[in-house]
Amino acid sequence: RKEVEQDPGPFNVPEGATVAFNCTYSNSASQSFFWYRQDCRKEPKLLMSVYSSGNEDGRFTAQLNRASQYISLLIRDSKLSDSATYLCVVSHNDMRFGAGTRLTVKP
Amino acid sequence: EAGVTQSPTHLIKTRGQQVTLRCSPISGHTSVYWYQQALGLGLQFLLWYDEGEERNRGNFPPRFSGRQFPNYSSELNVNALELEDSALYLCASSQPGTSGRAMSYNEQFFGPGTRLTVL
């Protein structure tokens, strides 16, 4: 079993849609959680950290369920510029990246 | 503020050769991480350095090695290159924790990567 598993995707959605990504992790001792986005042939960039209480940043909402070892990212009112690969990241002694979920937002 | 920088941006080598990749972290960051991202695959953790010491290592053979210098910049060395080493090599840096110690779970900021092609 992979340490960090994500929805395989790809997700193709129209502008304005709401889309949700899921991620599960295997190490119950994991301490920190993040969502990164990676544009094609570019480096990953931090989108948001994920806190136990859940957190929101504009159109983006992240949730963490430690009991189920599950992380989610919700994107509301999708924009064309949201098209990217979204990486779930879990940290214990080092950062472990999921394989990513590709999102394409279409006009 | 300058971000993480890496050099070179692209590199072409042949099987059996050796390569050295370089990374300069964001000013004030003491930790440097190296990742390999093969085409179509996720990021694979290679190495973590902090304060000149190797703190953790991913599941890669010993021909992948590195070091961190007193100014916190870092090198990744790959010996005896194989075709499957062709990938984007990403460096990231992070701040020390609030106690001043390196923390594995601080946010990481990535450089643009070095794209290595092994022929």
Confidence band of A104 (pLDDT split at 50, 70, 90): very high
Quote the distance between the C-alpha of residue B7 and its chain's center: 11
pLDDT tens-digit map of A22-67: 999 998 888 889 999 999 888 999 999 898 888 999 999 999 999 9
Q: Which of A6, A42, A94, A101 to mutate to test the interface with B (most CBs of B within 10 A)?
A: A94
- Of B6, B45, B2, residue with least CA distance to A42: B6
Structure tokens at A72: 């989610």
pLDDT at B103: 55
Q: How do the pLDDT tens digits run along chain B, 119 residues long?
A: 689 999 999 999 999 999 999 999 999 999 999 999 998 778 999 999 988 999 889 889 999 999 999 999 999 999 999 999 999 999 999 887 654 444 556 788 999 999 999 99
Q: How far apart are CA B9 and CA B77, in angstroms?
A: 15
pLDDT at B104: 55
End-to-end CA distance of chain A: 37
Structure tokens at A91: 């940290």
Angle, CA A65 vertex, CA A55 and CA B33 arms, to 5°? 75
* Chain A nearest-CA residue for B48: A94
